[in-house]
Amino acid sequence: MNEEQKLNQFQARIDADEKIEPRDWMPDGYRKTLIRQMSQHAHSEVIGMQPEGNWVLRAPSLRAKKILLAKIQDEGGHGLYLYSATETLGIDRTEMIEQLQQGNAKYSSVFNYPTLNWADIGAIGWLVDGAAIVNQTMLAKCSYGPYSRAMLRICKEEGFHQRQGYEIMGKMMTGTQAQREMAQDAMNRWWWPALMMFGPHDSESAHSQESMKWKIKVESNDKLRQRFVNRTVEQAHHIGLTVPDPLLSYNKETLNWSFGPINWDEFWSIVKGNGPCNEQRMSHHIKYHNEGAWVREAALAFEENLTKKQTVSI
Amino acid sequence: MEKDNQFPQWEVFIQIKNGTPHEHAGSVHASDKKMALQNARDIYTRRNEGRSLWVVKTDDIAATSAEEEAEFFDPAEDKIYRTPNFYKMPKGSTNI
Amino acid sequence: MNTKDALIKYCTRLADNNLILGQRLAEWCSRGPILEEDLAMTNISLDLFGEAESIYEYISTLTDNHLSADDIAFLRSEREYSNTLLVELPNGDFAYTMAKQFLYASFAKLLYTSLLNSNDETLKGLSEKALKEVKYHIRHSSEWLIRFGNGTSESKTRVQNALNDIWKYTDDMFEMDEVDNELISTGIAFDLKDIYTQWNFSVSEILKEAKLTKPSNGLSIKGGYKGIHTEHLGHILTEMQYLQRAHPGAKW
């Protein structure tokens, strides 16, 4: 079979909604796109541990402490599932981490904002995880088997993430004046970054078309963003939070909440590394990765010493 | 410094309930067997999903390739005499 | 001292041990030597917070002052915490943390095992649950000690230095006073001297396997159960109690 026949056969499988598995033939572009997107997704989960970790020692109750710690742990676990799924494409985790630390791989820009009060933990769970779930539910239907399976597991586990965030916000909105102010402040700072998580408008999105053809994405950025807005605006109003968008209005014909323009300059500036926490997140990652190097060396040396000993005794 | 390492990869199989088979859950990285089992426990059974775990180094798994699919599996397609419904039982016979 | 007061004090020591060690371990969040280990440490931290919460809830039922588990956990001053000193020590490097974990978990396992014979049904029940968790904590930390002792010369040096440094705080775990005497006489708790003998034995076995030297008993620093702490505890509390202190009476 020549390349073109292979490509046609591949596209036919995609069109028939078959899943592609690691050992199947796939075009280079498909593999590369998946590696880029999946490793970025994995890095996002791992870097996402930092802004939430910023509050784990200050959580205000034993219950809150346990929930937050378990949630951050889930993020780490999800990073791990995604690294494993990406490894099936022929890249190992060492290399992915190198790419991240050298700035050749990205992670979600939303984690480059600081967490400044306890309500930020609520806002991250409710808005950031809420946006992520909309995206991940779509990705669970993607054509690459290992990615789709990882997403299914992640969606199942993240069921509680958004709810715990909304619960924090709801509790604070029925609390003291100071608590209500903190909740609204967090809402004001996280609303727009959450909308940006869906990426540029479809008309501006560099990778969208090909990804749709290959069913790496099955719905467009704008459609997913709208779904998130529709769900979330009503949740915000329900607990008395104001959405920080003067142009927000309900469109009775389309049944959608229409919203004001997104500040794409801010988005691209953060993507390019100029966000408030880009440097901090990366230097944290590098510092603790390097500090763990002797541990990893020791563990491997132990295993080698053990194997040597066993070989000698035979 | 030498190139960093993230430990070899292992595949994790979990038995969720007594009497059911061990099923593939995902992978972990670990430097030795004991660590692989513990990491599998900490990563794949956080929600009370397990009662028995197997781990095996990913490199030690042999697998068929997509190109081998036809010659491996298609020949089984026309052996329907391996299924019970292939056979006509005498009218009125029971318990068979 | 009457039995009830003694029981409250005893339980507070146990709960504080869990809370403060859990808090220390949570500091590792996003800082582990490898992602898998980050998750493993979080699991242990979650076990410890869970144990702490159950014991504070029990204490809450024993007192007449209407304090909730959270009030007890978050609103006391340094002198009112009665955890053993070892659990409040800073984490140091990963070897230091694992050495702390191992030495404490080995103690906790024996303590909970003894409490399976307690006359106090709640304490007995809590111990049954905690015992399963703490056995896993020993497995996790002891295997790291064995890896380090038989790994590279750097790892061996690091873990040996950690043990040498921590050792002076280990006697504190086995301190006894009128609280213990009262509970021993009523069959609720047991003599820590016996536990010390067993602890010494089981720790020595692992150190042997790890080819590490058991530090000699020299300097010994004590006082945790009486609220005489290291300077580190105050800083742990400052961070942990921040929201509770800044917004008195607020519900979260």
Give the pLDDT confidence of B76-90 residue by residue, as tens digits. Answer: 888 888 888 888 888
Cβ within 8 Å, pair C143-B34: yes
Q: Does an H or E element contain B18, and which?
A: none
The residue among A76, A301, C179 whose CA lies nearest residue B32 is A301
Instruction: Tell me which residue has tokens 């403060």.
Output: C20
How far off is chain B from C209, nearest CA to CA, in Å?
15
Residue A42 confidence (pLDDT): 98
Query: Looking at chain A from residue 257 to 286, which residues have their Cβ under 8 Å from any Cβ of chain C?
Result: 284
Determine, for residues B7 and C34 on separate chains, whether the beta-carbon distance falls below 8 Å: yes
Minimum Cα–Cα distance from A281: chain C residue: C30
CB of A195 within 8 A of CB of A243?
no
Q: Tokens in use for A303? A: 């295993």
Asked whether residue C203 is assigned to any structural domain, the reply reads: yes
Per-residue b/e over C172-187, b at no fewer than 16 CB within 10 Å? bbbbeeebbebbeeee
Count Cβ atoms below 10 Å from residue C200 Cβ, excluding itself.
Answer: 15
To the nearest 10°, the Cα dihedral for A34, A36, A39, A44? Answer: -120
Of A23, A74, A94, the CB nearest to B6: A94
The full set of domains in chain B, from first to last, is: 9-86 (3.10.20.520)
A89 versus B3: the higher-pLDDT residue is A89
Q: Consecutive sets of 10 residues in chain C, 252 residues long: mean pLDDT of each?
A: 96 98 98 97 97 98 93 97 98 98 98 98 97 97 98 98 98 98 98 97 98 93 98 98 96 92
What is the greatest pairwise CA distance in chain A? 80
Per-residue confidence (pLDDT) for residue A104, from 0 to 100: 95
**pLDDT score recorded for residue A312:** 64
User: Which of B29, B34, B46 faces C34 most closely, judged by CB atoms?
Assistant: B29
- In tens digits, chain A (314 residues) has pLDDT values of 888 999 999 999 999 999 999 989 999 999 999 999 999 999 999 999 999 999 999 999 999 999 999 999 999 999 999 999 999 999 999 999 999 999 999 999 999 999 999 999 999 999 999 999 999 999 999 999 999 999 999 999 888 999 999 999 999 999 999 999 999 999 999 999 999 999 999 888 767 788 999 999 999 999 999 999 999 999 999 999 999 999 999 999 999 999 999 999 999 999 999 999 999 999 999 999 999 999 999 999 999 988 887 766 55
B82 touching chain C per CB within 8 A:
no
Residue-level pLDDT at A308? 84
**What's the confidence (pLDDT) of residue A81?**
95
Entry pTM: 0.94
Cα–Cα distance between C36 and A295 in angstroms, integer? 13
Decide: residue A149, CB within 10 A, 0-12 exposed, 13-18 middle, 19+ buried: middle
- Helix H, strand E, coil C: the string for C84-116 is CHHHHCCCCCHHHHHHHHHHHHHHHHHHHHHHC
- Which residue in this structure is represented by tokens 């505890």? C233
C40 in contact with chain B, both atoms CB, cutoff 8 A: yes
Nearest one of B5, B13, B53, B54 to B31, comparing CA atoms: B5
Handedness of CA C143, C144, C147, C149 (dihedral sign): negative
Quick check: ipTM above 0.90?
A: yes
Q: Which tokens sit at C164?
A: 């040498």
Residues of chain A in contact with residue B65, where contact means CB-CB under 8 angstroms, are 23
Q: How far apart are CA C10 and CA A64, in angstroms?
A: 26
Question: Does residue B9 belong to the interface with chain A, where contact is any CB pair within 8 Å?
Answer: yes
pLDDT at B1: 44
Full residue range of the structural domain in which residue C19 is found = 3-246
Say whether A295 and C155 touch across the interface (CB within 8 A).
Answer: yes
In chain C, the residue whose alpha carbon lies closest to the alpha carbon of A292 is C33
**d(CA C144, nearest CA chain B) in Å:** 9
Q: Rounded to an integer, what distance in angstroms lies between the CA atom of residue A192 and that of residue A258?
A: 14
Give the CATH number, domain containing residue C241.
Answer: 1.20.1260.10
DSSP 8-state assignment for residue A126: I
Q: Is C140 on the interface with B (CB under 8 A)?
A: yes
Strand order in the sheet with B23-29: B23-29, B9-15, B52-57
Residue C233 lies in a domain: yes
CB–CB contact C35 A76 (8 Å): yes
In a domain, C252, yes or no: no
Residue in B31, B32, B39 closest to C40 by CB: B39
CB distance from A12 to chain B under 8 Å?
no
| CA–CA gap between residue A146 and residue A20 (Å, rounded) | 9
Q: How many helices (H) and strands (E) does chain C have?
A: 10, 0
A291 touches chain C (CB under 8 A): yes
Q: Which residue has the tokens 């219950």?
A: A63
Tell whether C251 is covered by a domain.
no
Contacts of C42 in chain A (CB under 8 A): 69-70, 72-73, 76
Q: Is C39 on the interface with B (CB under 8 A)?
A: yes
Mutation for testing the B interface, residue in C36, C44, C94, C141 having most B CBs under 10 Å? C36
Q: How far apart are CA A24 and CA A184, in angstroms?
A: 50
pLDDT surpassing 70 at residue B2? no
The reply to whether C135 touches chain B by the CB within 8 Å rule is: no
Length of chain A in terms of residues written:
314
In chain A, which among 179-218 make CB contacts under 8 A with chain C?
179
Q: What pLDDT is stored for residue B76 in this prediction?
A: 81
The rounded Cα A3 to chain-centroid distance in angstroms is 34
Q: Tally the domains of chain C.
A: 1
User: Closest approach of chain B CAs to the CA of A94, in angstroms?
Assistant: 6
Contacts of B35 in chain C (CB under 8 A): 36, 143
Taken as a whole, chain C contains a residue count of 252
